[in-house]
Structure 1
Amino acid sequence: MGILNRSQGTVLSVFRIVVGLLFASHGASSLLGVLGGAMGKGGTVPFGTWPGWYAAVIQLVGGALVMLGLGTRVSAVICSGSMAYAYFVVHQERALAPIQNGGEASAMFCWAFLLIAVFGAGHLSLDALLFKDRGQTTAMPQAENG
């Protein structure tokens, strides 16, 4: 268990980077038409439309901030909330279970960002670099010796 305990901070950082990159990719796809475009149809979400355009901005900006580990906790809370909104307002009216309503990605992103908000950025982040004296970059519990 020693190696697992020692690698917690690194794994948390890699998890944060991957989740942020995937989320930012969704936003870039919807706003910029890259990576398949909005809804995989090559287009973009029209400027200012509710809720799609605002969700895409949160995805692109919030995902990038989380990926970089800058303002991580606040960004992760906003991203988590946007995915909770997406799940309960957009997906849940179709069916109760995520597998039935197409809301698996929204549910997973919501919980992943909540985890990042609670545990922080980890030591491989701009937050850790900029605020290293504060010790507020992660709330990773200390491993027990026993």
Structure 2
Amino acid sequence: MQTHLNQARPYALGLFRIVVGLLFTSHGAASLFGILGGTMGGGSIPVGTWPGWYAAVIQFVGGILVMLGFGTRTAALICSGSMAYAYFKVHQPEALFPLQNGGEPSAIFCWTFLLLVFTGPGALAVDRLFGRDDTAHDGERTSEQAPPVTV
């Protein structure tokens, strides 16, 4: 059973990345274009408004890049950082815990993208077409990864 799960790992990670990227893109599209429910007022954020408009651009463009698996690690790092900023600048001053301050989506997206920085895109990624992904298939090590530690 574990062998089958290990063989499916790159595909599960790829599907995870695609869904997370789609959800993040949807947030950006709602804020930028007023679609999918739009912002709180039902419209879009005015161009150049700090920090909302810039955050929406990162959500839209970064989400598309992550969803496609193109420059995944870099895009995920920028997306994670923007969500950390959103959490600590917007939500955390309201209350300590995400459940109290409405920052759960920011916190979850932040940690999700940080995970993708370390795991890479998984299967079904544009990065793999250009040989840009350094993660190995089926749990094998690449020459760039450190050997296992023995004690």
Same fold, TM-score > 0.5, yes or no: yes
Measure how far apart 1:130 and its partner are: 1.5
Question: Which residue of 122, 139, 147 corresponds with 1:142?
Answer: 139
- Is 1:111 matched with 2:108? no
Asked whether the 8 Å contact 2:80–2:109 carries over to 1, the reply is yes
The one-character-per-residue Cα deviations of 1:50-102 (angstroms, maximum 9, x if unpaired) are: 00000000000000000000010000000000000000110000000000000
Change (3 A) 1:104 1:42: same
CA-based RMSD of the aligned residues comes to 1.6
Asked whether the 8 Å contact 2:84–2:106 carries over to 1, the reply is yes
Q: Aligned equivalents of 2:73 and 2:56: distance in 1? A: 19
Q: Aligned equivalents of 2:136 and 2:80: distance in 1? A: 18
TM-score normalized by the length of structure 1: 0.90
* Alignment match, 1:13: 14
Measure how far apart 1:123 and its partner are: 2.1
Q: Aligned equivalents of 2:37 and 2:73: distance in 1? A: 29
Q: Which residues in structure 2 correspond to 1:78-117 (within 5 Å)? A: 78-117=78-117
* Alignment match, 1:4: 5
Change (3 A) 1:7 1:36: same
Runs of 4+ in 1 over 6 A off after TM superposition: none
Amino-acid identity (%) = 63
Q: Aligned equivalents of 1:112 and 1:66: distance in 2? A: 11
Asked whether the 8 Å contact 2:31–2:38 carries over to 1, the reply is yes
Change (3 A) 1:82 1:141: farther
Asked whether the 8 Å contact 2:30–2:44 carries over to 1, the reply is yes
Change (3 A) 1:72 1:135: closer
Which one has the largest radius of gyration?
2
* Alignment match, 1:34: 35
